[in-house]
Amino acid sequence: MSQQSVVQLRNVTKRIGGKTIVDSLSFDVPKGEVFGFLGPNGAGKTTTIRMMVGLISMSAGEVLVNGLSVNKQFEQAMRHVGAIVENPELYKFLTGYQNLIHFARMIPGVTRERIDEVVALVKLENRIHDKVKTYSLGMRQRLGVAQAILHKPDVLILDEPTNGLDPEGIRELRDYLRQLSKEEGTAIIVSSHLLSEMELMCDRVAVIQNGKLVDVRPVKDMVAPASGALEVAFVAEPAERAAQVVAQALPEASVSLQPGGFTAFVGYEDIPGLIRALVLADIRVYGVKAASKTLEDQFLEMTRGGQIV
Ligand SMILES: Nc1ncnc2c1ncn2[C@@H]1O[C@H](COP(=O)(O)OP(=O)(O)OP(=O)(O)O)[C@@H](O)[C@H]1O
């Protein structure tokens, strides 16, 4: 992944009626990254996104898109941005394809080939010539994304894109957003209050609460600690002897006995060897699973007491 930043937020602040709703947010999003903007309801995600796309003004700070200031060079900056902030505007009595042709007319240089390309990217080939009124919510949203990326933006910004989608729709969204970041190098910023989705969809996540940035971290660091050691729970009998076998095989594993088994801090690559050592020592192994904190646990800790929906 290139480290070139497509989007830069510098101390972005929004005050409304003496209340600070977004408080000096700063982060960078590089090319090709899927970046999650995670926070409980009312944290300030939508307000931040609205400032990023120039729908509302900032009280202080700056947003740069490819180095262009959203404040001072709005039109040039927006040429590199695709966004769905409110529901995408679609003509329900036209087909998906007719909708795309309509929007393409407003953007110089969009060819029929590009339209076919975006239709394939969002996997609407089979239904693109049907009327939008027959589309499911997920399909409408895909058409919205197709429309937002017609001009090959360097960044695509989606506010709560999974809202109202069923699990299948969420999985599809995740797949084509990943593909878009990979194939077109598009930086993607998605907001959500749903942790499990961010974990699967994003490379990095920024956690925001009460308008403040609590943390920005690669998802893989949230799932596995930086040392590479995972806390793994073994269900094994007899537990005491099992714990001894592991402690002998891996003295640094800090094994602790639990009812019906034990937990140990081990490298991912150590797990098969440990299972083998246990089996060779005639230990009955019933289960092995990661016991590291989930992203959800960490998020709850970070936003202690925040309203999570
Ligand atoms: N125009 C406004 N006037 C007063 N308060 C506002 C205004 N716009 C937003 N707020 C407040 O700012 C806070 C942040 O709102 P925002 O919609 O950005 O949060 P969010 O993180 O997107 O939440 P949600 O997930 O509920 O959309 C909320 O407390 C909201 O009530």
Q: Is 43's C-beta closer than 6 angstroms to any atom of ligand 1?
A: yes
Is residue 15 a contact partner of residue 46, using CB atoms and an 8 Å limit? no
Burial class (CB in 10 A: 0-12, 13-18, 19+), 2: exposed
Q: What is the pLDDT of residues 92-104, one digit of tens each?
A: 999 999 999 999 9
- Residue 132 has a pLDDT of 96
Q: What is the pLDDT of residues 120-134, one digit of tens each?
A: 999 999 999 999 999
Atom of ligand 1 nearest to the CA of 208: 21
Kindly report the protein residue whose alpha carbon is nearest to atom 12 of ligand 1.
21
Distance CA 35, CA 37 (A): 7
pTM for the structure as a whole:
0.77
CA trace torsion 171, 176, 178, 179 (10° rounding): 140
Q: What separation in Å is there between the alpha carbon of 140 and the centre of ligand 1?
A: 25
Q: Is 192's C-beta closer than 6 angstroms to any atom of ligand 1?
A: no
Burial class (CB in 10 A: 0-12, 13-18, 19+), 25: buried
Tell me if ipTM is over 0.90.
yes
Q: What is the pLDDT of residues 136-169, one digit of tens each?
A: 888 898 999 999 999 999 999 999 888 877 777 8
Distance CA 111, CA 104 (A): 8
